[in-house]
């Protein structure tokens, strides 16, 4: 089930980023006394009383965009975009933390932010949605805490006085926060295979989706970045339920524009997290770029299975060796995922598109495959006999026995004398030995070492 989302909003320099760091438990947001330091939204994770939720830190909403003296001195050129980002965060949230400054009292900027929040609230079942909690930050003393009552004038409910810097008062706020989360719905078991279609902008992801589904379900445009949301499409392939997740194109971090595209990248990363199998779409008409490898790295880090699909193959001048040369180049550039199958297609002409779903199904089956304990132990023994681990300070790694403890992805637990003696290259060697016994095509495998007691 999707975790609740909490957005931190307010005018500049009220301590939203400090509160974000306090709630997320790590200093991910940049904190500075210059108003406007936070421009784009920043995402983090937190939990309270065993209830996990996501947090969005937004840039300060500056109502002075039409004046010559903006509050966001450090981001004066980005006021409109910052405000747009904050409003989008409000629309995406389950609960809003409206942060104000106890030391400043109620300001016209606070009043305008309150008006903006009220515009975005709707009455659902007799309650305003999304609910807003008024957080009076920087209440570092008894005098400042007493000032919290002044913020009743904003008409946003009971103010919660706290100090994000010192952590005082945050417990009461969190108690109220989690109580406002929407009730957990009974999760309908979804046994479909989740398939995320990912890649850089304009490589043909939506065109491929339309071919796979057999109808125009996604907008197709030659303009890079048309798809902004991750959308789900259900289909049944040969009796197997599949959920296709079409995502926005993922650009290199430095080239992500503020606004819609920034959020589309975050949604794309979440789509990879949701997926069982990722279809990484490449453009055959341009060389494989560092960004393609970067996206592939996201897939590997998330332990997701993958199929590499080289699109626009119809636009490439070919001879007998072209496909082999392309394959070799992709294998070289994506050497960290050499277990992934590669398909050459054209979503435009439908060339070999019929091979994509059968390969996805096969990769998912490999993801769920299991080796018996006897098979694994035979592999371990043969691997050690053929190539012993290099000695380190007079000691060598010794593997005794192992077992596959889970699938999805395949995970192998091997008991050894001392895990610290294992070099990562030797772990990779063991992985390769396992793959010689069983391919696990398109699927990463985990090897975990544990000392035998």
Q: What strand order describes the sheet that includes 411-416?
A: 399-406, 411-416, 446-451
Alpha carbon distance 35, 97 (integer Å): 19
Considering the four listed CATH numbers 3.60.21.10, 3.40.50.300, 3.40.640.10, 3.40.50.2030, the one that applies to the domain covering 193-367 is 3.40.50.300
Domain 193-367 identical in fold to domain 373-451: no
pLDDT digits (tens, 9 = 90+) for 231-272: 678 888 888 888 888 665 444 445 544 444 444 455 567 678
Contacts of 139 (CB under 8 A, 6+ apart): 102, 145, 147, 148, 161, 162, 163, 168, 169
Alpha carbon distance 436, 447 (integer Å): 15
Q: What is the CATH number of domain 373-451?
A: 3.30.300.20
Alpha carbon distance 451, 453 (integer Å): 6
Q: What is the DSSP string of 404-437?
A: EEETTTTEEEEEES-GGG--HHHHHHHHHHHHHH
Q: How does strand 305-311 pair with strand 277-283?
A: parallel
pLDDT of residue 259: 45
Give percent above pLDDT 70 in the chain.
79
For the chain, the structural domain boundaries read 5-179, 193-367, 373-451
Give percent above pLDDT 90 in the chain.
47
pLDDT digits (tens, 9 = 90+) for 373-423: 999 999 999 999 999 888 877 888 999 999 999 999 999 999 999 998 888
Specify the CATH superfamily of domain 5-179.
P-loop containing nucleotide triphosphate hydrolases (3.40.50.300)
pLDDT confidence tier of residue 359, bands split at 50, 70 and 90: very high
- pTM, entire model: 0.61
pLDDT digits (tens, 9 = 90+) for 5-15: 898 999 888 99
Contacts of 369 (CB under 8 A, 6+ apart): 407, 410, 438, 440
Q: How does strand 132-137 pair with strand 159-161?
A: parallel
User: Is residue 197 scored above 80 in pLDDT?
Assistant: yes
Longest dimension (CA), the chain: 81
Q: How does strand 51-57 pair with strand 42-48?
A: antiparallel
pLDDT digits (tens, 9 = 90+) for 361-387: 999 999 999 999 999 999 999 999 999
pLDDT of residue 185: 61
Contacts of 313 (CB under 8 A, 6+ apart): 284, 344, 345, 346, 351, 352
User: Is residue 179 scored above 90 in pLDDT?
Assistant: yes
pLDDT digits (tens, 9 = 90+) for 91-132: 778 899 999 999 999 999 899 889 988 988 888 888 888 999
- Chain-wide mean pLDDT for the chain? 82
């Amino acid at each position: 089930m999707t975790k609740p989302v909490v957005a931190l909003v307010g005018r500049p320099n009220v301590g939203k980023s400090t509160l974000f760091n306090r709630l997320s438990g790590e200093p991910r947001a940049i904190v500075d006394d210059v108003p406007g330091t936070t421009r784009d939204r920043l995402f983090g994770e937190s939990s309270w009383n065993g209830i996990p939720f996501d947090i969005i830190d937004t840039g300060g909403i500056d109502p002075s965009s039409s004046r010559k003296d903006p509050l966001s001195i450090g981001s004066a050129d980005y006021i409109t975009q910052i405000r747009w980002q904050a409003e989008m965060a409000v629309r995406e949230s389950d609960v809003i933390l409206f942060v104000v400054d106890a030391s400043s009292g109620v300001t016209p900027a606070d009043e305008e932010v309150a008006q903006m929040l009220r515009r975005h609230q709707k009455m659902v079942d007799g309650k305003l949605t999304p609910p807003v909690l008024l957080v009076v930050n920087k209440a570092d003393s008894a005098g400042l805490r007493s000032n919290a009552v002044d913020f009743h004038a904003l008409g946003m409910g009971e103010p919660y006085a706290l100090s994000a810097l010192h952590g005082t008062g945050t417990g009461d706020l969190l108690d109220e926060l989690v109580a406002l989360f929407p009730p957990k719905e009974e999760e309908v078991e979804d046994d479909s295979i989740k398939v995320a279609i990912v890649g850089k902008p304009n490589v043909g992801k939506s065109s491929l989706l339309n071919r796979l589904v057999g109808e125009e379900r996604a907008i197709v445009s030659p303009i890079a970045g048309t798809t902004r949301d991750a959308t789900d499409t259900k289909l049944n392939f040969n009796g197997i339920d599949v959920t296709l997740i079409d995502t926005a194109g993922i650009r290199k971090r430095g080239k992500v524009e503020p606004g819609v595209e920034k959020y589309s990248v975050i949604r794309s990363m979440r789509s990879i997290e949701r997926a069982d199998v990722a279809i990484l779409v490449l453009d055959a008409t341009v060389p494989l770029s560092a960004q393609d490898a970067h996206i592939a790295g996201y897939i590997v880090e998330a332990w997701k299975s993958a199929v590499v699909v080289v699109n626009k193959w119809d636009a490439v001048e070919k001879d007998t060796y072209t496909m082999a040369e392309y394959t070799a180049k992709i294998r070289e550039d994506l050497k960290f995922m050499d277990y992934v199958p590669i398909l050459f297609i054209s979503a435009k002409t439908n060339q070999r598109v019929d091979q994509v779903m059968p390969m996805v199904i096969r990769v998912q089956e490999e993801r769920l495959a299991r080796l018996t304990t006897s098979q694994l132990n035979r592999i371990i023994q043969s691997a050690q006999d053929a190539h012993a681990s290099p000695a380190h300070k007079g000691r060598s790694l010794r593997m005794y026995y192992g077992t596959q403890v889970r699938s999805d992805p395949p995970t192998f637990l091997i008991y050894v004398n001392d895990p610290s003696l294992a070099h990562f290259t030797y772990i990779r060697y063991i992985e390769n030995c396992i793959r010689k016994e069983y391919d696990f095509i398109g699927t990463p495998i985990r090897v975990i070492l544990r000392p035998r007691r």
